[in-house]
Protein backbone atom coordinates (compact mmCIF):
# COMPACT_ATOMS: atom_id res chain seq x y z
CA UNK A 1 0.00 0.00 0.00
CA UNK A 2 1.42 3.44 -0.91
CA UNK A 3 2.37 5.73 1.97
CA UNK A 4 0.18 8.64 2.91
CA UNK A 5 -3.23 9.47 4.30
CA UNK A 6 -6.36 8.10 2.60
CA UNK A 7 -8.22 11.30 3.55
CA UNK A 8 -5.57 13.49 1.88
CA UNK A 9 -6.83 14.26 -1.63
CA UNK A 10 -3.32 14.14 -3.13
CA UNK A 11 -2.53 10.77 -1.53
CA UNK A 12 -5.97 9.42 -2.37
CA UNK A 13 -5.48 8.45 -6.08
CA UNK A 14 -2.57 6.08 -5.39
CA UNK A 15 -4.03 4.61 -2.20
CA UNK A 16 -7.49 4.21 -3.71
CA UNK A 17 -6.06 2.56 -6.83
CA UNK A 18 -3.93 0.23 -4.71
CA UNK A 19 -7.02 -0.73 -2.71
CA UNK A 20 -8.83 -1.63 -5.95
CA UNK A 21 -5.83 -3.63 -7.16
CA UNK A 22 -5.62 -5.38 -3.82
CA UNK A 23 -9.24 -6.44 -4.22
CA UNK A 24 -8.44 -8.05 -7.57
CA UNK A 25 -5.41 -9.84 -6.15
CA UNK A 26 -7.50 -11.09 -3.24
CA UNK A 27 -10.05 -12.45 -5.71
CA UNK A 28 -7.47 -14.21 -7.87
CA UNK A 29 -5.77 -15.63 -4.76
CA UNK A 30 -9.16 -17.01 -3.68
CA UNK A 31 -9.61 -18.62 -7.10
CA UNK A 32 -6.22 -20.32 -6.80
CA UNK A 33 -6.74 -21.28 -3.15
CA UNK A 34 -10.10 -22.96 -3.73
CA UNK A 35 -9.29 -24.47 -7.14
CA UNK A 36 -8.06 -27.89 -5.87
CA UNK A 37 -10.90 -28.31 -3.36
CA UNK A 38 -14.04 -27.59 -5.38
CA UNK A 39 -16.51 -30.48 -5.29
CA UNK A 40 -18.77 -31.35 -8.22
CA UNK A 41 -21.72 -29.83 -6.34
CA UNK A 42 -19.91 -26.50 -6.02
CA UNK A 43 -18.49 -26.21 -9.55
CA UNK A 44 -21.26 -23.94 -10.86
CA UNK A 45 -21.16 -21.37 -8.03
CA UNK A 46 -17.36 -21.44 -8.22
CA UNK A 47 -17.52 -20.69 -11.96
CA UNK A 48 -19.70 -17.68 -11.20
CA UNK A 49 -17.26 -16.55 -8.50
CA UNK A 50 -14.27 -16.83 -10.85
CA UNK A 51 -16.01 -15.17 -13.79
CA UNK A 52 -17.12 -12.30 -11.56
CA UNK A 53 -13.58 -11.75 -10.25
CA UNK A 54 -12.23 -11.57 -13.80
CA UNK A 55 -15.20 -9.50 -14.96
CA UNK A 56 -14.47 -6.92 -12.27
CA UNK A 57 -10.87 -6.68 -13.48
CA UNK A 58 -12.11 -6.01 -17.03
CA UNK A 59 -14.63 -3.46 -15.72
CA UNK A 60 -11.83 -1.61 -13.93
CA UNK A 61 -9.66 -1.57 -17.05
CA UNK A 62 -12.51 -0.29 -19.23
CA UNK A 63 -13.07 2.66 -16.90
CA UNK A 64 -9.36 3.41 -16.85
CA UNK A 65 -9.09 3.32 -20.63
CA UNK A 66 -12.32 5.18 -21.44
CA UNK A 67 -12.38 7.76 -18.64
CA UNK A 68 -9.80 7.80 -15.85
CA UNK A 69 -6.54 7.87 -17.81
CA UNK A 70 -7.84 10.60 -20.11
CA UNK A 71 -9.07 12.66 -17.16
CA UNK A 72 -5.67 12.49 -15.48
CA UNK A 73 -3.68 13.10 -18.66
CA UNK A 74 -5.42 16.44 -19.17
CA UNK A 75 -3.11 17.72 -16.44
CA UNK A 76 -0.36 15.09 -16.22
CA UNK A 77 0.33 15.32 -19.96
CA UNK A 78 -0.83 13.37 -22.98
CA UNK A 79 0.66 9.88 -23.04
CA UNK A 80 1.63 9.92 -19.36
CA UNK A 81 -0.39 6.75 -18.73
CA UNK A 82 0.06 5.11 -22.13
CA UNK A 83 2.50 2.60 -20.66
CA UNK A 84 -0.08 1.52 -18.09
CA UNK A 85 -2.67 1.05 -20.83
CA UNK A 86 -0.22 -0.91 -22.99
CA UNK A 87 0.62 -3.20 -20.08
CA UNK A 88 -2.98 -4.42 -20.06
CA UNK A 89 -2.16 -6.32 -23.23
CA UNK A 90 0.57 -8.33 -21.49
CA UNK A 91 -1.99 -10.31 -19.50
CA UNK A 92 -5.57 -9.45 -20.54
CA UNK A 93 -5.62 -11.86 -23.54
CA UNK A 94 -4.54 -14.68 -21.19
CA UNK A 95 -7.30 -13.72 -18.74
CA UNK A 96 -9.77 -13.86 -21.61
CA UNK A 97 -8.55 -17.37 -22.44
CA UNK A 98 -9.17 -18.36 -18.82
CA UNK A 99 -12.66 -16.85 -19.01
CA UNK A 100 -13.37 -18.89 -22.14
CA UNK A 101 -12.37 -22.09 -20.31
CA UNK A 102 -14.48 -21.17 -17.27
CA UNK A 103 -17.47 -20.53 -19.53
CA UNK A 104 -16.99 -23.92 -21.18
CA UNK A 105 -17.01 -25.56 -17.75
CA UNK A 106 -20.11 -23.58 -16.78
CA UNK A 107 -21.87 -24.60 -19.99
CA UNK A 108 -20.96 -28.28 -19.62
CA UNK A 109 -18.62 -28.31 -22.62
CA UNK A 110 -15.57 -29.37 -20.61
CA UNK A 111 -14.89 -30.93 -17.22
CA UNK A 112 -13.67 -28.86 -14.31
CA UNK A 113 -10.12 -29.63 -13.17
CA UNK A 114 -8.48 -27.60 -10.43
CA UNK A 115 -5.04 -28.25 -11.93
CA UNK A 116 -6.15 -26.71 -15.22
CA UNK A 117 -7.45 -23.58 -13.52
CA UNK A 118 -4.21 -23.20 -11.56
CA UNK A 119 -2.19 -23.52 -14.77
CA UNK A 120 -4.40 -20.88 -16.39
CA UNK A 121 -3.93 -18.47 -13.47
CA UNK A 122 -0.17 -19.04 -13.42
CA UNK A 123 0.00 -18.05 -17.10
CA UNK A 124 -0.94 -14.43 -16.36
CA UNK A 125 -0.94 -13.70 -12.62
CA UNK A 126 2.68 -12.52 -12.36
CA UNK A 127 2.29 -10.12 -15.29
CA UNK A 128 -0.93 -8.79 -13.82
CA UNK A 129 0.61 -8.13 -10.39
CA UNK A 130 3.64 -6.47 -12.00
CA UNK A 131 1.32 -4.13 -13.88
CA UNK A 132 -0.81 -3.35 -10.84
CA UNK A 133 2.25 -2.40 -8.82
CA UNK A 134 3.81 -0.39 -11.64
CA UNK A 135 0.63 1.58 -12.25
CA UNK A 136 0.64 2.90 -8.67
CA UNK A 137 4.05 4.49 -9.25
CA UNK A 138 2.51 6.74 -11.91
CA UNK A 139 0.19 8.25 -9.28
CA UNK A 140 2.96 9.66 -7.08
CA UNK A 141 1.48 12.20 -4.67
CA UNK A 142 4.05 14.89 -5.55
CA UNK A 143 3.25 14.63 -9.26
CA UNK A 144 -0.48 14.67 -8.51
CA UNK A 145 -0.17 17.70 -6.21
CA UNK A 146 1.91 19.54 -8.80
CA UNK A 147 -0.79 19.17 -11.45
CA UNK A 148 -4.19 19.11 -9.70
CA UNK A 149 -6.19 21.03 -7.15
CA UNK A 150 -8.17 19.18 -4.49
CA UNK A 151 -11.40 20.30 -6.14
CA UNK A 152 -10.32 18.82 -9.48
CA UNK A 153 -9.37 15.51 -7.91
CA UNK A 154 -12.67 15.26 -6.05
CA UNK A 155 -14.56 15.93 -9.28
CA UNK A 156 -12.64 13.19 -11.10
CA UNK A 157 -13.22 10.70 -8.31
CA UNK A 158 -16.92 11.53 -8.14
CA UNK A 159 -17.30 10.99 -11.87
CA UNK A 160 -15.27 7.78 -11.68
CA UNK A 161 -17.73 6.37 -9.14
CA UNK A 162 -20.70 7.33 -11.30
CA UNK A 163 -19.16 5.63 -14.33
CA UNK A 164 -18.26 2.55 -12.27
CA UNK A 165 -21.78 2.08 -10.91
CA UNK A 166 -23.54 2.89 -14.19
CA UNK A 167 -22.97 -0.52 -15.77
CA UNK A 168 -22.06 -2.58 -12.70
CA UNK A 169 -24.10 -5.72 -12.05
CA UNK A 170 -25.44 -5.19 -8.54
CA UNK A 171 -26.08 -8.93 -8.10
CA UNK A 172 -22.52 -10.04 -8.94
CA UNK A 173 -19.95 -7.24 -9.15
CA UNK A 174 -20.98 -5.48 -5.96
CA UNK A 175 -21.06 -8.54 -3.65
CA UNK A 176 -17.60 -9.35 -4.99
CA UNK A 177 -16.36 -5.97 -3.74
CA UNK A 178 -17.43 -6.84 -0.19
CA UNK A 179 -15.93 -10.35 -0.11
CA UNK A 180 -12.61 -9.53 -1.78
CA UNK A 181 -11.52 -6.59 0.35
CA UNK A 182 -8.49 -6.71 2.58
CA UNK A 183 -9.14 -5.88 6.25
CA UNK A 184 -5.38 -5.44 6.80
CA UNK A 185 -5.11 -2.31 4.66
CA UNK A 186 -3.57 0.46 6.82
CA UNK A 187 -6.18 3.08 5.94
CA UNK A 188 -8.87 1.19 7.85
CA UNK A 189 -8.58 3.27 11.01
CA UNK A 190 -10.91 4.25 13.86
CA UNK A 191 -12.67 7.57 13.31
CA UNK A 192 -15.81 9.39 14.44
CA UNK A 193 -19.07 8.48 12.73
CA UNK A 194 -19.56 11.84 11.06
CA UNK A 195 -18.20 11.29 7.56
CA UNK A 196 -20.25 9.73 4.79
CA UNK A 197 -17.14 7.83 3.67
CA UNK A 198 -17.23 5.53 6.71
CA UNK A 199 -18.90 2.32 7.70
CA UNK A 200 -20.10 0.83 10.95
CA UNK A 201 -19.39 -2.90 11.28
CA UNK A 202 -19.08 -5.01 14.42
CA UNK A 203 -18.95 -1.87 16.55
CA UNK A 204 -15.95 -0.43 14.68
CA UNK A 205 -15.84 2.54 12.32
CA UNK A 206 -13.28 2.44 9.53
CA UNK A 207 -12.46 3.93 6.15
CA UNK A 208 -13.85 1.83 3.37
CA UNK A 209 -13.04 0.95 -0.23
CA UNK A 210 -14.88 1.67 -2.36
CA UNK A 211 -16.61 4.58 -0.62
CA UNK A 212 -20.15 3.30 -1.12
CA UNK A 213 -22.87 4.98 0.98
CA UNK A 214 -24.10 2.87 3.88
CA UNK A 215 -27.54 2.18 2.40
CA UNK A 216 -25.86 0.61 -0.64
CA UNK A 217 -23.58 -1.50 1.57
CA UNK A 218 -26.60 -2.81 3.46
CA UNK A 219 -28.48 -3.45 0.21
CA UNK A 220 -25.57 -5.50 -1.10
CA UNK A 221 -25.26 -7.51 2.11
CA UNK A 222 -28.93 -8.24 2.63
CA UNK A 223 -30.48 -8.15 -0.83
CA UNK A 224 -28.20 -8.16 -3.88
CA UNK A 225 -25.97 -10.94 -2.50
CA UNK A 226 -28.91 -13.32 -1.99
CA UNK A 227 -29.39 -14.30 -5.64
CA UNK A 228 -25.97 -16.01 -5.94
CA UNK A 229 -25.13 -16.56 -2.27
CA UNK A 230 -23.36 -19.89 -2.89
CA UNK A 231 -20.82 -18.15 -5.11
CA UNK A 232 -19.78 -15.72 -2.40
CA UNK A 233 -18.72 -18.61 -0.14
CA UNK A 234 -15.42 -18.63 -2.05
CA UNK A 235 -14.45 -15.09 -1.07
CA UNK A 236 -11.63 -14.50 1.41
CA UNK A 237 -14.12 -12.51 3.52
CA UNK A 238 -17.75 -13.02 4.35
CA UNK A 239 -20.28 -10.32 3.51
CA UNK A 240 -19.64 -8.63 6.86
CA UNK A 241 -15.91 -8.34 6.24
CA UNK A 242 -14.78 -11.20 8.49
CA UNK A 243 -11.86 -13.34 7.28
CA UNK A 244 -12.98 -16.85 6.33
CA UNK A 245 -11.03 -20.07 7.01
CA UNK A 246 -9.05 -21.69 4.19
CA UNK A 247 -10.55 -24.72 2.43
CA UNK A 248 -9.40 -28.05 3.84
CA UNK A 249 -11.26 -30.86 2.05
CA UNK A 250 -9.63 -31.81 -1.26
CA UNK A 251 -11.79 -33.04 -4.10
**Residue 202 clears pLDDT 50, i.e. is over it:** no
Question: pLDDT averaged over the chain?
Answer: 86
Q: Is residue 108 part of a domain?
A: yes
**Residue 220 clears pLDDT 70, i.e. is over it:** yes
**Residue 64 clears pLDDT 60, i.e. is over it:** yes
Q: Is residue 95 part of a domain?
A: yes
Q: Is residue 217 part of a domain?
A: yes
Per-residue pLDDT band at 161 (split at 50, 70, 90): confident
Q: What is the pLDDT of residues 14-52, one digit of tens each?
A: 988 988 999 999 999 999 999 999 999 999 999 999 999
Q: Is residue 1 part of a domain?
A: no
**Residue 187 clears pLDDT 70, i.e. is over it:** no
In this predicted structure, what is the pLDDT of residue 85?
92
**Residue 133 clears pLDDT 80, i.e. is over it:** yes
pTM for the whole structure: 0.86
Q: Is residue 216 part of a domain?
A: yes
Q: Domain span at residue 206?
A: 12-234
**Residue 190 clears pLDDT 90, i.e. is over it:** no
DSSP letter string, the chain:
--SS-TTSTTTHHHHHHHHHHHHHHHHHHHHHHHGGG--GGGHHHHHHHHHHHHHHHHHHHHHIIIIIHHHHHHHH-TTTTHHHHHHGGGTHHHHHHHHHHHHHHHTTSS---HHHHHHHHHTTHHHHHHHHHHHHHTT-HHHHHHH--HHHHHHHHHHHHHHHHHT--TTTHHHHHHHT--TT-TT-----TT-TTEEEETTEEEE-SS---HHHHHHIIIIITTTTGGGGGGSSB-TTSPBPPPP----
Considering its fold, how many domains does the chain have in total? Answer: 1
Per-residue pLDDT band at 183 (split at 50, 70, 90): low
**Residue 229 clears pLDDT 60, i.e. is over it:** yes
Q: For the domain that residue 105 is a member of, what is the CATH number?
A: 1.20.120
In this predicted structure, what is the pLDDT of residue 184?
60
Q: Is residue 6 part of a domain?
A: no
Amino acid sequence: MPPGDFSNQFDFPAINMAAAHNMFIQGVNAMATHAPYVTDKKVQPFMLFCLTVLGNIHHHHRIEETFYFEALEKKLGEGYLTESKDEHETFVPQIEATESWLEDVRDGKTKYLGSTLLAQINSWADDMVHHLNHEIEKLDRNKIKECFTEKELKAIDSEFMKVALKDANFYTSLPMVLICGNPATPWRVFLSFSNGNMNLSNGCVYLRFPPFPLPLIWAIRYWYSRRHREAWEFGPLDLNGKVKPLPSSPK
